Amino acid sequence: MECFTDRDDGAVGIVIVTRDALPRWLESAGGRERRWVEAHGEPSSLVIPGADGAPERILVVTDGAAGLFTLAGLPGTLPGSMTCRLEEAPGATELALGWALGSYAFDRYRSTGRRRARLVFPPEADRRLVEAVTRGVTLGRDLVNTPAEDLGPAELAACIRDLAGRHGAAFGEVAGDDLLERNWPSVHAVGRASTRAPRLLELAWGDPAAWKVTLVGKGVCFDSGGLDIKPSSGMRLMKKDMGGAAAAIALASMILDLELPLALRLLVPAVDNAIAGNAYRPLDVFRTRKGLAIEIGNTDAEGRVILCDALAEACAGKPDLLVDFATLTGAARVALGTELPALFCNDDALAGEIEEHCRRVEDPVWRMPLWPGYRSHLESNVADLSTTGTEATGGAITAALFLERFVDAAVPWAHVDLMGWNQRSRPGRPAGGEVMAARGLLDLLRTRAAAARAAPAG
């Protein structure tokens, strides 16, 4: 990876010091270093020059223990020609991963790429994990950042096909009117108005007898709102409406790179929600893959419509864990903001595990309730249920309750309603497309895989 090197020649050392320990560090530092630091107040990071004026050391001051994002701001602020190394490496894996996440730049449409400082890869760090997570996050971010002109359902299919090919996984695709023949009516309904045919995409990998994990991602490559058209302000970022698919693909990539001992299945319904004479309409009724009839409350609530077919098919495989990722509701953003995905889960123990692992790797989610009292909001006078109902409040909950109708009660299921986009730049999390909750889910899967390996046979 370009953000790392194995050559230590001329590398500038990075020392990490807590703010409480900074006075002691200054006492032990040379007079020139001490004067330079004191002249800059209380810096969070500072390049300390040598006698010749060239960078000699980089001081990073933290408020607590070093973590994932401690070094993440450096690659974009240091000179691109600089090479750095850790003088000490407690938590080397997290620090290296943070450096890699902070090195990300989306340069596909730039005449020249942005050069980033490099880090001598710490020998104490888990290189396979760092590179697998970095590749997955980079892939997901690139997908979200790519304009809809260059990323439609066919391009999303090509991405998953390439991923499958690199890892010897099986790939399947159902496109266009074949969706009707193969009983994917809801996916077809949402995507039929676009000149770019809708698709159902599938990847399968691993021993079918192993623990079964199925990932589902909402793949709306562009969302105009359909006939319930969005205003321009609401449509501007809708290239990111496949952010759920990007998160699911990113997590699948990490699992494949690490060869976790599980049976992986990835399902992505990929569509454009477009406007044309054959666009689906408010109050249309469709028979879904599960057999339930749904009445369309609003064509701009299309994500749950394509997901319901995918979730029904996912449950047919009887997975041991089912997770869907979706940029599903503005209501979740109103409740939790743009940086904290909403988690809905039908299993309390599983929900607690997901929250714990997401918190541990600084990829947080916040659980919200599948409140049964709101199920009546989805009642329809003409169909089995309405996609939106008539109640204006609690939209993230009613959307999750709609999806729950297509999930078998015996299947442990988690639904992540995410933004898929950083509205502001923070260290390691640049403004633009973002992969949310995938690193936390990976940590859970790795922990379970390790426990399974350690369990006695039989």
Residue 182's pLDDT is 98
Looking at residues 167-180, what average pLDDT do you find? 98
Length reported for the chain? 458
- Report pLDDT digits (tens) over 26-38: 988 878 888 999 8
Residue 457's pLDDT is 58
Rounded CA-CA distance 344/356 in Å is: 14
251 closest CA partner among 319, 325, 317: 325
DSSP per position, 381-431: SSSSEESS-S--S-HHHHHHHHHHTTS-TTS-EEEEE---EESS-BTTB-S
Rounded CA-CA distance 310/215 in Å is: 10
Q: Which range is least confidently modeled, 31-35, 175-179, 190-194, 407-411?
A: 31-35
Helix, strand, or coil here: 150?
Answer: coil
Residue 31's pLDDT is 86
Residue 43's pLDDT is 83
pLDDT band at 456 (very low <50, low <70, confident <90, very high): low
The answer to whether 115 is a known catalytic residue is: no
Which is it for the CA torsion 291, 295, 299, 304, positive or negative?
negative
Residue 160's pLDDT is 98
* Residue tagged active-site, from 265, 304, 429, 439: 304
pLDDT band at 304 (very low <50, low <70, confident <90, very high): very high
In this structure, the dihedral spanned by the alpha carbons of residues 79, 83, 87 and 93, taken in order and rounded to 10 degrees, is 100
Rounded CA-CA distance 304/314 in Å is: 15
* Residue tagged active-site, from 34, 135, 230, 287: 230
319 closest CA partner among 267, 284, 376: 267
Report residue 223 as tokens. Answer: 């969302």
In the predicted structure, residue 289 carries a pLDDT above the cut 90: yes
Q: Which range is least confidently modeled, 36-40, 197-201, 223-227, 320-324?
A: 36-40
DSSP per position, 267-326: EEEEEEE--STT---TT-EEE-TTS-EEE-S-TT--HHHHHHHHHHHHHHT--SEEEEEE
pLDDT band at 114 (very low <50, low <70, confident <90, very high): confident
Rounded CA-CA distance 179/284 in Å is: 18
pTM above 0.85, yes or no: yes
Residue 115's pLDDT is 84
In the predicted structure, residue 241 carries a pLDDT above the cut 90: yes
* Amino acid at residue number 144: V
Q: DSSP assignment, residue 222? A: E
Looking at residues 253-280, what average pLDDT do you find? 98
Distance from the first to the final alpha carbon of the chain: 41
Tracing tokens 């502001």 back to the chain, one arrives at 424
Rounded CA-CA distance 99/76 in Å is: 10
* Amino acid at residue number 11: A
Helix, strand, or coil here: 205?
Answer: strand
Helices (H), 194-276: 232-235, 243-258
| Exposed / middle / buried, residue 112 (Cβ in 10 Å: 0-12, 13-18, 19+) | exposed
The answer to whether 230 is a known catalytic residue is: yes
In the predicted structure, residue 458 carries a pLDDT above the cut 70: no
| Exposed / middle / buried, residue 358 (Cβ in 10 Å: 0-12, 13-18, 19+) | buried
Report residue 347 as tokens. Answer: 């299993």
**Highest averaged pLDDT of the listed ranges 9-23, 48-62, 211-225:** 211-225
In the predicted structure, residue 306 carries a pLDDT above the cut 60: yes
- Report pLDDT digits (tens) over 328-362: 999 999 999 999 999 999 999 999 999 999 999 99
Rounded CA-CA distance 384/245 in Å is: 27
- Report pLDDT digits (tens) over 69-92: 999 999 999 988 899 999 987 899
